[in-house]
A and B are shown apart, each in its own frame.
Chain A
Amino acid sequence: MMWGEYSIGLLLVLVSGVIGFAALAIEIDDLHRLLLLDLVEISSLGIIALLGTDLAEALVLPGLTVGIAELLALSQIYITKERLKDKPVKGLNIEVIRKADAPVVISAFLVVYGLILSGFTGGGVAGLGLVFFFMSRGYQEDLNMLEMASGISWAIWIFAFFVFMFLPQYWFVALMCAAVGIVLKVTVKMSLVGTMWGEVRE
């Protein structure tokens, strides 16, 4: 068959990419262009995800990471370029979220679901829950403990890799260590991203 599922998917992603690029060409505001670029970036992840194999999952993650890194770098430049450094931002000031109990319920659900999923995806989901919680509460706290937890869980993850390489008969222990390590690591890292934005660092 000439038009398989892959071809149709590819066509759709390419069309959405072209629409994104057209919007990019029309838009002249710098900040809006940055936001549109993030949208265009998603179509590249779409092309990779269309592979539909384990390999695709392994390739989407670095692709996403590179995209986020470039976005962070560019937004930093934007802040310096437009001299926005003098206007510090403290969390999301949305009254509706701040007063209600819903954020607690939603983030608790996300964290529990993330822990059940475990691994990289679980870390992402649980981290998202924490980000949402911190953002809605305007959390102000010393972040050193979180950073330390992130470091220790990374060490557990690396330790698991060494077990895989040198003591492969204990693969199950290593698998559990790696799963727990990475879930903690990603959760903590994402919640740090959620809390450290906009703050003024001395």
Chain B
Amino acid sequence: MSSIGGVPFYILEFGDELVYFTPYTITLFLLALVFTVLVILSRPERQVDIAFGGDAYTTKQILKDEMRFRRFMSIACGLASMGAMVTGDIFNFTLFTAMVGITNVGIVAAVKSPHVQNAAYQYGLVALSATVPLFGAAAVYAASTGSLSMIELARGTLPAVPIIAKALLVIGVVGEGMAPFYAAKAEMFRAPGAPYVIMCSLSSLLIFLRVVEVVMLG
């Protein structure tokens, strides 16, 4: 098998669910893992507001309940990203991507600021509508090739994947928080608490790097 990810050196077949590690996916997986551990260990940043034209500044307080909820959501987001990095099944990949979208909303949902709440809601609407092309892509993959397994697709013995399926997959991933829809997400980053908010960006970045590999299969 030759693909952008290189030769897989480990394939775990668990029924029809399969997981495989190539040099490419294992790098992304380790990145997600390291960052999840960092999120577990680190304390949240306390945002500082400086009053313009003076020396006065205030530090925002983060309540313990809020912090714990956001940490939980960040860990869930890390786990979903890890799953998306190593899965060898198109449908599981789309499910993990959708889950990253939900947890991204969850990370900022506990913040009380109305700006952040509103942005999270608008982003959530985009993420929810992005599941339509995502699941649609997986269904068209299954309908046109008869398989959802990335290993099977990479062998090249199956019928070619129609370009529309690949396009839908990319649109779906983009909708979960990439380039043109990023505007709503940027507003979300006004939420205080650095390591958790960065998890939103990192997970979308990882998912995008993985979808590049997925699209090149079959």
| Chain A residues proximal to chain B, CB less than 8 Å | 6, 17, 21, 24, 30, 33-34, 37, 40-41, 43-45, 47-48, 50-51, 55-56, 59, 62-63, 66-67, 69-71, 73-74, 76-78, 80-81
Checking A66, A73, A74 against B95 with a beta-carbon cut-off of 8 angstroms, the contacting residue is A66
Q: Across the interface, do A30 and B132 meet the contact criterion of CB distance under 8 Å?
A: no
Q: What separation, in Å, do the CA atoms of A186 and B159 have in the docked complex?
A: 38
Given contacts A34-B125, A41-B128, 11 further A-B contacts (CB under 8 A): A17-B136, A30-B121, A41-B132, A47-B140, A51-B143, A59-B91, A59-B138, A62-B95, A63-B135, A77-B117, A78-B121
Q: What separation, in Å, do the CA atoms of A40 and B120 have in the docked complex?
A: 20
List A contacts of B61 (CB < 8 A).
Answer: none
List A contacts of B131 (CB < 8 A).
Answer: 41, 44, 63, 66-67, 70
List A contacts of B128 (CB < 8 A).
Answer: 37, 41, 67, 70-71, 74
Checking A30, A63, A77 against B105 with a beta-carbon cut-off of 8 angstroms, the contacting residue is A77
- Can you list 28 A-B pairs, Cβ within 8 angstroms, ordered by A? A17-B132, A37-B125, A40-B129, A41-B131, A44-B133, A44-B136, A47-B135, A47-B136, A47-B139, A48-B136, A51-B143, A56-B142, A59-B138, A59-B139, A59-B142, A63-B95, A66-B95, A66-B98, A67-B131, A69-B102, A70-B98, A70-B102, A70-B131, A73-B105, A77-B105, A77-B109, A77-B117, A80-B117
Decide yes or no whether B106 CB sits under 8 A from chain A: yes
**How many cross-chain pairs have Cβ atoms below 8 Å apart between A and B?**
92
Checking B99, B127, B129, B139 against A48 with a beta-carbon cut-off of 8 angstroms, the contacting residue is B139
Q: What separation, in Å, do the CA atoms of A30 and B134 have in the docked complex?
A: 23
Q: Hey, what's the 0/1 contact readout for B104-131 against A, CB within 8 Å counting as 1?
A: 0110010000100110110011011101
| Chain B residues proximal to chain A, CB less than 8 Å | 91, 95, 98-99, 101-102, 105-106, 109, 114, 117-118, 120-121, 124-125, 127-129, 131-136, 138-140, 142-143, 148
